[in-house]
Amino acid sequence: DTAVSQTPKYLVTQMGNDKSIKCEQNLGHDTMYWYKQDSKKFLKIMFSYNNKELIINETVPNRFSPKSPDKAHLNLHINSLELGDSAVYFCASSPGQKSYGYTFGSGTRLTVV
Amino acid sequence: AQSVTQLGSHVSVSEGALVLLRCNYSSSVPPYLFWYVQYPNQGLQLLLKYTTGATLVKGINGFEAEFKKSETSFHLTKPSAHMSDAAEYFCAVSASGGYQKVTFGIGTKLQVIP
């Protein structure tokens, strides 16, 4: 049973489209995250939610909007996709205290053409 | 603010040789330190972590790391490399206390030569 699951695994779309990535965790964790990994493997945090409340919001374009309907789910919606949005997006979760470390999903590879 | 520097984006070792992946951190408060491993087309997996207490921490797959405050380092080692260790390794740091973000290094790709 996958602990942190993301869908879809691959997403190819045209510039200007709107797309969503879903994330679900069955670990009972309180905190969830979205990270972006670029082509050079650099990982950058985008958002973090704790019990459905936004606690970290990095400098990310307004086109990116996270939504957490409950503490087990964190979705990422992207409007007006651009070529530069092509990357691997990782969802992660933690019990709420970051000293435990994160559990990552397997990633969503987004390609904008 | 915290930051992490991983020395060497690529490291090659022979199978059976010592693995040493270097990580230096910067933090204005006591840090939490982590090493993650990423296999191709997979998410990151926690290898080990340092929060408080013993400075030598042991992780999965025979890896260990030592927190050296005086050197601001948290290098990852394994006595004998195995072919299955070939992967990307990420060092990460966060500040202790509160909801503070974890900052990752740029990663070190480990190649194991048979």
Q: What is the mean pLDDT of chain A?
A: 92
Six-digit token string for A39: 């082509």
The reply to whether B88 touches chain A by the CB within 8 Å rule is yes
Q: What are the tens digits of pLDDT across the range B55-98?
A: 999 999 999 999 999 999 999 999 999 999 999 999 999 887 66
* DSSP type of residue B88: E
Band of residue A58 on the pLDDT scale cut at 50, 70, 90: confident
Average pLDDT estimate for A74-94: 96
Tokens representing A27? 């670990």
Tokens of A110: 């987004």
For residue A59, with 0-12 CB atoms within 10 Å meaning exposed, 13-18 middle and 19 or more buried, which class applies?
A: exposed
Contacts A100 to B, Cβ<8 Å: 49
In angstroms, the Cα distances linking A2 to A7, A8, A26, A75 are 12, 14, 8, 17
**Residue B43 to residue A55, Cβ atoms within 8 A:** no
Q: Is A60 on the interface with B (CB under 8 A)?
A: no
- Give yes or no for B104 touching A (CB within 8 A): yes
Tokens 């984006």 sit on residue: B9
Contact at 8 Å (CB) between B6 and B105? Answer: yes
> Which residues of chain B are within 8 Å of residue A45 when distances are taken between CB atoms?
101-103
B106 Cα to chain A: minimum distance (Å): 5
Separation between Cα atoms, residue B3 and residue B10, nearest integer Å:
20
Q: Which residues, listed in sequence order, are joined to residue A75 by a DSSP beta bridge?
A: A67
Q: How far is A103 from chain B (nearest CA, A)?
A: 7
Beta strand A43-50 with A108-112 is unpaired
Rg (CA), chain A: 13
Q: Is B104 in contact with A43 (Cβ distance < 8 A)?
A: yes
Distances in whole angstroms, Cα of residue A57 to Cα of each of A23, A35, A65, A66, B25: 17, 11, 10, 10, 23
- Span A3-51, pLDDT tens digits: 999 999 999 999 999 999 999 999 999 999 999 999 998 999 999 998 8
A112/B88 Cα distance (integer angstroms): 25
Nearest CA in chain B to A30: B99
What pLDDT, in 10s, does the model give residues B21-48? 999 999 888 889 999 999 988 899 999 9
- Cis amide prior to A61 (ω within 30 degrees): no
Best A21, A25, A88, A98 residue to mutate vs chain B (most B CBs within 10 Å) = A98
Q: Which of B49, B101, B106 lies at the smallest CB-CB distance from A101?
A: B49
Instruction: Name the residue of chain A whose CA is nearest to B49's CA.
Output: A101
